[in-house]
Amino acid sequence: MTGFTTSYGVKLPWIIYGTAWKKEQTKDLVIEALKAGFKGIDTACQPKHYNEGMVGDAITSFKEHGLKREDIYIQTKFTPLAGQDTTSIPYDKNALIFDQVLQSFEKSKENLKTNYTDTLIMHSPVFPHSLFMEAWSAMEKIYRRGGARQLGISNCYETKTLERLYKDATVKPAVLQNRFYQESGYDVELRNFCSKSKILYQSFWTLTANGHILNSYLIKDIAKKYDKTKPQIFFRYLNQSGILPLTGTCSVQHMKEDLQVLEFELSKEELTAIDSILF
């Protein structure tokens, strides 16, 4: 699997297929993504946005065609109460947050039909910090029992929040999954902290939030030069910059195009030029 290896020795592909908002199409689209060649899947125990059970169904049906569990990288998330729909909370809303994390993870294993996930991600920081660490310690318990090979955090846009988590955690976060967009200054400070602390940065909203970049003359010219699409150029730029993008495309054509990105390499000058229109 070509891609990234974290400090926990976990290998991740260079791009991950995201399964949000696909509802009853989830199973078919995940099967299409696996057929196209995706080796990594992102989901969450959050029925409001993800059908985690159908992700599990898709992986199971693909196993019948020879896919082994270890051939595929799976990450799921614990979503705190604030991110759940009150009608579909996948754990006891009155339980302590420590127990909610454990219950949510049991549900994820049942949905995904696996006894471990490669990464377990907290969907967003929890405040106050003491509650955050209580939830994180439940994730550490899951890690120690072998339920997750590493842990991650998402939607964490303040460097001091990530630094504090990193300092207080016994099992340090290995992944940060954030929206990659102009309003957060593309997380420059956070990403510097990630590089120093060996945390892999994953991006979402990568295409949706960056139409102005994709439609710039620079990206258009580079796309023409390599005979690639504008999203392919942007994904390649991110990858060569140490960022792992997620894609949730519903188009089989786009799935194929997204996976062809490793066929070419941008020059140092091109990377610097794209940097200069982003920052």
Ligand X SMILES: NC(=O)c1ccc[n+]([C@@H]2O[C@H](COP(=O)([O-])OP(=O)(O)OC[C@H]3O[C@@H](n4cnc5c(N)ncnc54)[C@H](OP(=O)(O)O)[C@@H]3O)[C@@H](O)[C@H]2O)c1
Query: Whose Cβ is closer to ligand X: residue 211's or residue 272's?
Result: 211
Q: Which ranges in the chain belong to alpha helices (H)?
A: 26-36, 52-63, 97-112, 129-144, 159-168, 188-197, 211-214, 217-226, 230-240, 252-259, 268-278
Contacts of 55 (CB under 8 A, 6+ apart): 19, 26, 27, 30, 41, 43, 111, 112
Looking at beta carbons only, is 94 or 202 nearer to ligand X?
A: 202
Nearer to ligand X, 251 or 272 (CB): 251
Q: Which residue, 165 or 246, is less far from ligand X as judged by CB? A: 246
State in angstroms the smallest separation of the CB of 23 from ligand X.
12
Structure tokens at 253: 């054509």
Residues 118 and 11: their CA atoms lie apart, in Å, by 9
- 40 phi and psi, to 5 degrees? -135, 140
Residue 245: which H helix or E strand, with range? strand 243-247
Task: Give, as one character, the DSSP assignment of residue 216.
Answer: S
Residue found by looking up tokens 């409001």 in the block: 48
CB of 259 to ligand X, least distance (A): 10
Contact call for residues 30 and 54 (beta carbons, < 8 A): yes
Report how far residue 146's alpha carbon sits from residue 135's, in angstroms, rounded to the nearest whole number: 17
Residue whose CB is nearest to ligand X in the complex, by number: 18
Residue 244 Cβ vs ligand X, minimum distance, rounded to whole Å: 11
Q: How far is the CB of 38 from ligand X (least distance, A)?
A: 12
Q: In terms of CB distance, is 15 or 89 closer to ligand X?
A: 15
* Shortest Cβ 83–ligand X spacing (Å): 8
Q: How far is the CB of 46 from ligand X (least distance, A)?
A: 9
Other C-beta atoms closer than 10 Å to the C-beta of 145 total 11
Report helix angle 52-63 to 26-36, nearest 10: 40
Closer Cβ to ligand X, 155 or 216, answer by number = 155
CB nearer ligand X, residue 111 or residue 229: 229
Give the N- to C-terminal CA distance of the chain in Å, as an integer: 31
What is the smallest separation between the CB atom of 66 and ligand X, expressed in angstroms?
A: 25
Distance of closest approach, residue 153 Cβ to ligand X, in angstroms:
10
Site of interaction with ligand X (CB under 6 A) = 18-20, 42, 123, 154-155, 177, 204-208, 229, 231, 246-251, 254, 257-258
**Residue (149 or 236) nearer to ligand X, CB:** 236
- Give me Rg for the CA atoms of the chain: 18
